[in-house]
Amino acid sequence: DQWKALNDAYRNTPFQFNLERIVTYANASWGGKLDDWFETMGEMKAALRQGRYQDLNLYFVTGVEDYVMGRCTFPTALENQTTIPGEAPVDYPLRWFFDDGCLVNNLTIPGPPGPGKWPQFRQGKTAVHEVGHWLGLHHPWDANDHVYCMWDDGIPDTPQQWGPTRGPHEAHVPWDEAKDTCYGSLSSVDGPDNIHNYMDYSDDAELWLFTPNQTEEMYKTWMTLRTHRKFVKA
């Protein structure tokens, strides 16, 4: 099931997740097209979020467009700051708190194929990927620099790559275990692309690792940005 897939993926990291509760809500406005989803997710999270800033909230959403797999927030360093220069005053502490969490398309939950279900993404690893963002990890290609390979995720042991890996389910994309789209890069360790890394976009069957430095980054992020945080109104 999804919870087993999540804990199996994180078994070699400091993180294991305890399931506190499952709540089911029916609201037709929380879904639909991509623009609608992003517009209404703040409303949904404000209504449903539980726990503290260190408590993971996963929202499995139905009725979204098939190509939308997930979206997750990164931890913020903001706490008692209530304004951002150039913007109208906003209660940012509570805004960041209630926006925190991961949205995942329910079609990626482990299970047998069903109508509209992606067979290549039904091992529960979309949630694994999104939780990586929740713990501070970026995609290995980070800023989508598809020209010069100038950006990466800031992790020393994830080789830089030009963009996301697709396939092998996509017949027009040859599967290449030695794919190296930023050969000779100096910004991080040199080597082939991160095709088996949970933070890439390969099919679920091809994803099975976090690197040691990714694990260190997640733990550092957890200790500095997620534990002992208190979001209060100024």
Q: What string of DSSP letters covers 85-142?
A: TTS----HHHHHHHH-SEEEEGGGSSSS--TT--GGG-SSHHHHHHHHHHTT---TTT
Whether 56 and 172 share a structural domain: no
Q: What is the pLDDT of residue 54?
A: 92
**Residues 6+ positions from 219 with CB-CB distance below 8 Å:** 13, 14
Whether 131 and 147 share a structural domain: no
Whether 204 and 101 share a structural domain: no
H-helix or E-strand containing 58?
A: strand 58-61
Whether 120 and 218 share a structural domain: yes
Contact 133, 99 (CB under 8 A): no
The answer to whether the predicted template modeling score (pTM) of the entire model surpasses 0.85 is yes
Q: What is the pLDDT of residue 90?
A: 53
Q: What is the pLDDT of residue 234?
A: 38
Active-site pick, 39, 87, 130, 177: 130
Q: Which domain holds residue 154?
A: 139-209
Low-confidence ranges of the chain (pLDDT < 50): 82, 233-234
Whether 9 and 93 share a structural domain: yes
Whether 100 and 216 share a structural domain: yes
Whether 101 and 188 share a structural domain: no
Q: Where are the alpha helices (DSSP H) in the chain?
A: 2-9, 34-48, 92-99, 125-134, 212-221
Whether 89 and 109 share a structural domain: yes
Whether 101 and 14 share a structural domain: yes
Whether 81 and 197 share a structural domain: no
Whether 84 and 181 share a structural domain: no
Domains in the chain, number: 2
Single-letter code of the amino acid located at 233: K
H-helix or E-strand containing 59?
A: strand 58-61
Whether 114 and 81 share a structural domain: yes
| Known catalytic membership, residue 177 | no
